[in-house]
Amino acid sequence: MLLRERTNLGSGMMVAGLSVLALVSWASWVGGAAPSALTHQETAHPHLTIYYWPFPARAHSLLSMCAVACAPCTHVHSYDRIAAVASANGGSMEGGGVGDTFAPPIVVDEDNQGFAISQSVAATLYVGQRLGFDAAVPNVPKSVQYMVDLADFLAQIPGGEGPTLIFDEELGRKLAHFHTSGRFDAWMQNIERSIIGPYYYGERVSYVDFYLNQVLKWIYQRIYRQIPGAENVFGAYPKAMGVQASVSALDVTTCPVLGSPFPLTTSFPSPDEPFSKPFLDTLANTSIFR
Amino acid sequence: MLLRERTNLGSGMMVAGLSVLALVSWASWVGGAAPSALTHQETAHPHLTIYYWPFPARAHSLLSMCAVACAPCTHVHSYDRIAAVASANGGSMEGGGVGDTFAPPIVVDEDNQGFAISQSVAATLYVGQRLGFDAAVPNVPKSVQYMVDLADFLAQIPGGEGPTLIFDEELGRKLAHFHTSGRFDAWMQNIERSIIGPYYYGERVSYVDFYLNQVLKWIYQRIYRQIPGAENVFGAYPKAMGVQASVSALDVTTCPVLGSPFPLTTSFPSPDEPFSKPFLDTLANTSIFR
């Protein structure tokens, strides 16, 4: 079921129990105490500008929180404007900021004196707090651990990160080892145990849930959906799948992000080229997905 | 000057101005409002158990904060006891915890119902808050950005991470490229601009300063101090050097950590073998350190 949007949830369920879960009105999952996030009106939310490339990837959780909260958020995705605020590209912050944001995603909060923040984990924490998605979080440092765990999981999966990866036999061997060594399962079980259910912190969605959706969608769309037999790679982790499906369902029923060229149904674009035969053959020979 | 401990600061200064800075009584840098950290007495600090290998590395900032605050901290470093709490090794938390701490460093707070947290950035935030090193921090998400920036810098330097790295010609080429491409300088300038001075947030030390000390010490001791001509690789970044020297000076004048087999003068052990000639020749040929 992972990555199917809410409108598609009526057919082809891979995990029967979750279809019911995901078809429940999404509003009930947000919890009753955040009405401003549910009215589809612009409220007192800050105006946020999110600088990121023209696909979601590391900005997915940021854009998604804005969409679900109906916050007046602008997605700026031209190279020149990103370079103007990213110090890795020589930029300093517009409006006299300190120039200590290295690379996108970069969030500028127009209603907090142009405060700027980068790094996806830190920015997700900031935007989550600004938009009220922190109400369920009892302990901020532990929430940071959960997000860094997810970022580490993404970084450690061979083929997960990097725009120029070549899906060749060597990468296939590494990905096979990631599974046969038990590392994939160890990470996912750790993530699964972190989740109370249905969301990380129970009944109410938090910024950590948005971050999980970003990372699992990315991994799935980047790698597994293109590997025969791997469609259900997250099937053994129903809590994580539940979070991912529920947050995805929120995305598509709420407000668009200004200026964004893509829908939030995609976290990371698929590689331009289909996976190579040696890559797929290597995985098939290890039988890791049977 | 980087990595010379306070006791050595009287000789061989590479940056003249900083010698005076570092020789000022360390107590004045901590700030006047945290007396419990300055009395060398056990106060109301929580008892923390820090699970990490028998060298500082990613636990350096945690151990260092405990030492400076004189908090009753125990460093547990046997493989078996670490494996018992790290889910990557099959462990679940002692005392009935949730088993969602993947790998060391792992901190268990005996005085917070055995609360457990992992990931160096998240754990540094938690311990920093528990021991009062958050008083100067105006914005927690931004402090998380600063620490993830430092972790990214460490991860991106070829040879910075990984116990099994081979310092061969290929790694030499990558390290040379990291400098000649401007990436090293772009990161360090970004870090430099993040620091108000003398500490990240001005006059008072914070957990972010401890994290910087951990990362820059690690990088220096792992790589640069063994490369002829690279001793002063951080010389162009006086604010970062100032933070590092000042935090190092705090370490050595305060309380020991129970059970820890090493002094906090070392963050990361040097490689067992000297760097290979092809590695050093590759760097020398690029003249990056002249």
The closest CB to that of B141, out of A126, A145, A186, belongs to A126
CA-to-CA distance for A50 and A107, rounded, in angstroms? 5
3-class SS of residue A177: helix
Written as one letter, the residue type at B25 is: S
Which residues of chain B neighbour A100 with C-beta distances below 8 Å?
146, 190, 193-194
CA-to-CA distance for A51 and A116, rounded, in angstroms? 10
Name the helix (H) or strand (E) containing A48. strand A48-51
User: What pLDDT is stored for residue B259 in this prediction?
Assistant: 81
Q: How far apart are the first and last CA of chain A?
A: 17
Q: How do strand A48-51 and strand B48-51 relate by DSSP bridges?
A: unpaired
At residue B224 the predicted structure's pLDDT band, cuts being 50, 70 and 90, is: very high
User: What pLDDT is stored for residue B10 in this prediction?
Assistant: 27
Tokens of B165: 């790295």
User: What pLDDT is stored for residue A43 in this prediction?
Assistant: 52
A210 neighbors A247 (Cβ within 8 angstroms): yes
3-class SS of residue B277: helix
Name the helix (H) or strand (E) containing B1. none
Contact A122 B148 (CB under 8 A): yes
At residue B31 the predicted structure's pLDDT band, cuts being 50, 70 and 90, is: very low
pLDDT tens digits, residue range A26-47? 233 333 333 333 333 445 788 9
The closest CB to that of B100, out of A99, A144, A193, belongs to A193
Contact B152 A122 (CB under 8 A): no
Which residues of chain A neighbour B139 with C-beta distances below 8 Å?
115, 126
Average per-residue pLDDT in chain B? 82
Span B69-79, average pLDDT: 92
Helix A169-180 vs helix A183-194: crossing angle, to nearest 10 = 50
Name the helix (H) or strand (E) containing B201. none
- The CA distance from A145 to the nearest CA of chain B, in Å, is 5
Which residues of chain A neighbour B88 with C-beta distances below 8 Å?
183, 186-187, 190
Domains of chain B: 17-24+39-284 (1.20.1050.130)
Beta bridge partners of A50: A75, A107
pLDDT tens digits, residue range A167-223? 899 999 999 999 999 999 999 999 999 999 999 999 999 999 999 999 999 999 999
Q: Is the pLDDT of residue B222 over 50?
A: yes
The closest CB to that of A87, out of B125, B144, B189, belongs to B189
Q: Is the pLDDT of residue B19 over 90?
A: no
Interface with A, mutate which of B152, B190, B196 (most A CBs under 10 A): B190
Contact A123 B142 (CB under 8 A): no
Interface with A, mutate which of B87, B100, B106, B113 (most A CBs under 10 A): B100
Chain B residues within 8 angstroms (CB to CB) of chain A: 87-88, 90, 98-102, 115, 117-119, 121-123, 125-126, 129, 139-142, 144-146, 148-149, 152, 183, 186-187, 189-190, 193-194
The closest CB to that of A145, out of B118, B146, B186, belongs to B118
The closest CB to that of A189, out of B87, B186, B193, belongs to B87
Span A7-21, average pLDDT: 30
ipTM for the whole complex: 0.85
pLDDT tens digits, residue range A114-165? 899 999 999 999 999 999 999 999 999 999 999 999 999 999 999 998 767 8
What proportions of chain A, in percent to the nearest 5, are helix, strand and coil?
45, 5, 45
